[in-house]
Chain A
Amino acid sequence: MEISRRDFLRVSGATMGVMLFPSFLKDAKAESYARMLKTKEGTESTTICPYCACGCGIIVTARKWGNKVINTEGNPDHPINEGSLCSKGSALYQIANSDKRLKFVWWRPPNGKRWITIPWFLALIMMAQRIKRTREANFTTEDLSSGRTVNRTEAIAAIGGAALDNEECHLYTKLMRSLGIVYLEHQARI
C-alpha cells in the first residue's frame, strides 16, 4: 500500500505528539503548569488604513469571543508599508477603542435649541424614513433631455467619513448606488 507523506505525518504526529519532547518522557512540572495556565484567544485579520491614499496594510487583532479590537499594527507583508505606519495610522486602534468616541446619536429636534441623545434604533428609523421619503419624491427613471434610463435621485448626497476603511467604503458605496444616489463623496485625503 502506498502511503502519502500526509498520511505519514498524520499517523506519526498522532502517535508522537511533541517531537522534541516525545510522549515516553513525562514532565510533571510542565503538565501542572499547563493546567494552571491562564490563556486568551485572539484572531488576526488584515485591513487597509483609512486615513490617506497611500493604502498602508494593517493587521487588526481581536479577541476571539466578543470581537473586541485589542491591537492594530502595520502589516509587515504588505508591499506598500512593509510593517511601518505613520503617527495617524499607528493611532488607528483608537477608532475602535477611545473614551472620546461618541457612544450615542445626538439629535436636535426641529426648531429645538438643545441637542439630545437618542438610541441607535430610533436614529436608524428616522434616517430610513427621511431617505425613503426624499428618494420617492425625487426619483428619476429617465433623463429628461436625452431620454436615457438613469434610475437616480439627485436630492440626496452621501459623504463618507475619513475613518471608514476599505471594506466599509465598499459596503457604503454599494448601499448608496443601490439607492440611486449619484452625489457620492468620501473624505479621503493625503
Chain B
Amino acid sequence: MLSYNKDINSVEEGLNHLQGKEYISESTVNFFRDITRAQYRIKSQLHGIDISCSLTEDEVKERMRKGKPLISWDNIPLKESHLKELFKEICKIMKRQENSGDEEIQRLIDAESGEEFDLNTLIKKLFFHDRAYFHSLSDDLGVSEELLLFVALHLAKPFFELVAEMLKGKVVDNLWLKNYCPVCGSEAQMAKLEREVGKRILYCLLCGSEWRFMRIKCPFCCNADHEHLRFIEEEGSPYRIDLCEQCRRYIKTLDERKAGDSKREIIPTVEDLATIYLDIVAKKEGYERSWFFPPSVDQLKTKRDSKTLH
C-alpha cells in the first residue's frame, strides 16, 4: 500500500490542466485550488510536530490482520491554532464563491468565535461519525448539515494526511483487501484500474491512502454478485462509474489502460474534481456517492465478520 499524497506543485499542475476545459468551470477549479493551498499551508506548519504513532511492524501487521485501521484518535495532531487558521481560510474562500450562502457561513464564523462549538470537537465527532451531533449543531446554529460536514471534512484532511504519510511503508498490501481505508477506516472515494493487469486500486481522499480491492465486488456493501454490478462508461474516455444495484451507490473509476499517456500522473483529488459531470450522471440515475466517515471499531468488527472475508 502506498500513500499517493503529492506535493502542492503536482496538485497545482493537475488543477492547471483543468483550466478552460468544457466540463468544469474555472471558478470551481479556483475554489478547490484555494482550499488545497490553505490545507497545504497548514500541513507545512505541522511537519515539525511529533506525532505519537509508535506502532511497531508486528503491531501494524496484527492490526491489519484483525481489520483494524491504523490511525486512532490520539494519533491525530490537532492543534487549536491550526484548526482556527484553516477554518477561517476555508470560510473566507467559501464566501468568495457564488451561491455558497454568505449568511450561513457568517453564522458559522460567528458561532465559532462565540464559542458555541469548538473545532476540535467537530473533527472528533466526524472521526467517531456522531451524526446526532452534526444534526443538533446544524439546528442550533441555523446552518445546513451539508455545510457543516463540508467544512469538517476539509478541516480534517491535512491532519489525516499527515498521519497517513507517516505510516507509509509500514502497511503490508496483501494483508488488506477490505472495503475501507487501512489507515483511517474511511470508505473509498475514487478507484483506478492499474495499467499493467487491471488491478483495482481504491483511494481514500481523506487521508490520501490507496489500497487493493477485488474487481468484481462493491467497495461499499461488498456485494460480489455480478448480476447486480454494472458500469457506465463515457465513450472514448478512461473514466467510468461503477454502480452497485444492491446498495445503490457508485464509485468513479479511472482505467489507466485507456488513459493513453503512460507518464500521466494520477492525483485522485484532481481526477475527482475533473469528473464532477459523472457525479451528476450517477445522481440522475439514482445512485449515491460513497462517504468519508471512518466507521467505529465496533462497526468495523461487524463489517469484518460479516462481509469482508475473502
- Interface 0/1 of A22-44, CB less than 8 Å to B: 11111111110110011111111
Minimum CB–CB distance from B216 to chain A (whole Å) comes to 6
**Contact between A59 and B215 (Cβ–Cβ < 8 Å)?**
yes
Number of interface residues of B (CB under 8 A): 62
Q: Majority SS of interface residues in chain A? A: mixed
Q: Is B58 an interface residue (CB 8 A)?
A: no
Q: Which residues of A contact B99 (CB under 8 A)?
A: 24-26
Which among A12, A26, A43 is the interface contact of B149 at CB below 8 angstroms? Answer: A12
- In Å, the complex CA distance between A28 and B234 comes to 19
Which of A3-11, A99-107, A174-182 touches B? Answer: A3-11
- In Å, the complex CA distance between A64 and B243 comes to 12
**Contact between B269 and A76 (Cβ–Cβ < 8 Å)?**
no
Q: Decide: A27 near B131, CB < 8 A? Known: A16-B146, A40-B232.
A: no
Q: Decide: A44 near B215, CB < 8 A? Known: A15-B146, A27-B276.
A: yes
Minimum CB–CB distance from A47 to chain B (whole Å) comes to 11
- Interface 0/1 of B95-117, CB less than 8 Å to A: 00101110000000000000000
**Contact between A13 and B150 (Cβ–Cβ < 8 Å)?**
no
Q: Is B40 an interface residue (CB 8 A)?
A: no
Q: Decide: A30 near B291, CB < 8 A? Known: A16-B149, A59-B215.
A: no
Which among A7, A19, A24, A83 is the interface contact of B153 at CB below 8 angstroms? Answer: A19
Q: Decide: A73 near B147, CB < 8 A? Known: A5-B299, A30-B24, A43-B226.
A: no
Which among A14, A17, A30 is the interface contact of B277 at CB below 8 angstroms? Answer: A30
Q: Count of A-B contacts with CB under 8 A?
A: 161
- In Å, the complex CA distance between A15 and B31 comes to 21
Q: Which residues of B contact A86 (CB under 8 A)?
A: none
Q: Is A140 an interface residue (CB 8 A)?
A: no
**Contact between A9 and B146 (Cβ–Cβ < 8 Å)?**
no
**Contact between A9 and B293 (Cβ–Cβ < 8 Å)?**
yes
- In Å, the complex CA distance between A64 and B242 comes to 13
9 nearest A-B pairs in the assembled complex, by CB-CB distance: A83-B197, A8-B131, A34-B280, A34-B277, A33-B23, A45-B226, A13-B288, A76-B199, A30-B276
Q: Which residues of A contact B145 (CB under 8 A)?
A: 12, 15
Q: Is B25 an interface residue (CB 8 A)?
A: yes
**Contact between A23 and B197 (Cβ–Cβ < 8 Å)?**
no
Q: Is A21 an interface residue (CB 8 A)?
A: yes
Q: Which residues of A contact B100 (CB under 8 A)?
A: 24-25
**Contact between B216 and A39 (Cβ–Cβ < 8 Å)?**
no
Q: Is A129 an interface residue (CB 8 A)?
A: no
**Contact between B226 and A44 (Cβ–Cβ < 8 Å)?**
yes
**Contact between A20 and B269 (Cβ–Cβ < 8 Å)?**
yes
Q: Is A74 an interface residue (CB 8 A)?
A: yes
- In Å, the complex CA distance between A30 and B145 comes to 24
- In Å, the complex CA distance between A23 and B272 comes to 15
**Contact between B280 and A83 (Cβ–Cβ < 8 Å)?**
no
- Interface 0/1 of B174-209, CB less than 8 Å to A: 000000000000000100000011111000010000
**Contact between A41 and B230 (Cβ–Cβ < 8 Å)?**
yes
22 A-B pairs in the complex with CB atoms less than 8 angstroms apart = A5-B129, A5-B299, A9-B293, A10-B288, A11-B131, A12-B146, A12-B149, A16-B150, A18-B276, A18-B279, A19-B292, A24-B100, A26-B99, A29-B23, A29-B24, A30-B280, A33-B23, A38-B235, A39-B235, A44-B229, A74-B197, A76-B198
**Nearest-CB residue, chain A, relative to B177:** A77
- In Å, the complex CA distance between A23 and B100 comes to 9
Which among B25, B134, B146, B273 is the interface contact of A29 at CB below 8 angstroms? Answer: B25
Q: Which residues of B contact A25 (CB under 8 A)?
A: 28, 31, 97, 99-100
Q: Is A187 an interface residue (CB 8 A)?
A: no
**Contact between A5 and B277 (Cβ–Cβ < 8 Å)?**
no
**Contact between A19 and B289 (Cβ–Cβ < 8 Å)?**
yes
Q: Is A117 an interface residue (CB 8 A)?
A: no
Q: Is B283 an interface residue (CB 8 A)?
A: yes
Minimum CB–CB distance from B160 to chain A (whole Å) comes to 14
Instruction: Tell me which of B32, B150, B227 has the highest count of chain A C-beta atoms within 10 A of its own C-beta.
Output: B150
Which among A15, A27, A39, A83 is the interface contact of B196 at CB below 8 angstroms? Answer: A83
Q: Which of B135-186 contact A (CB under 8 A)?
A: 144-147, 149-150, 153
Q: Is B231 an interface residue (CB 8 A)?
A: yes
Q: Is B281 an interface residue (CB 8 A)?
A: yes
**Contact between A3 and B132 (Cβ–Cβ < 8 Å)?**
yes
Q: Is A75 an interface residue (CB 8 A)?
A: yes
Q: Is A46 an interface residue (CB 8 A)?
A: yes
Which among A28, A31, A40, A75 is the interface contact of B215 at CB below 8 angstroms? Answer: A75
Q: Is A82 an interface residue (CB 8 A)?
A: yes
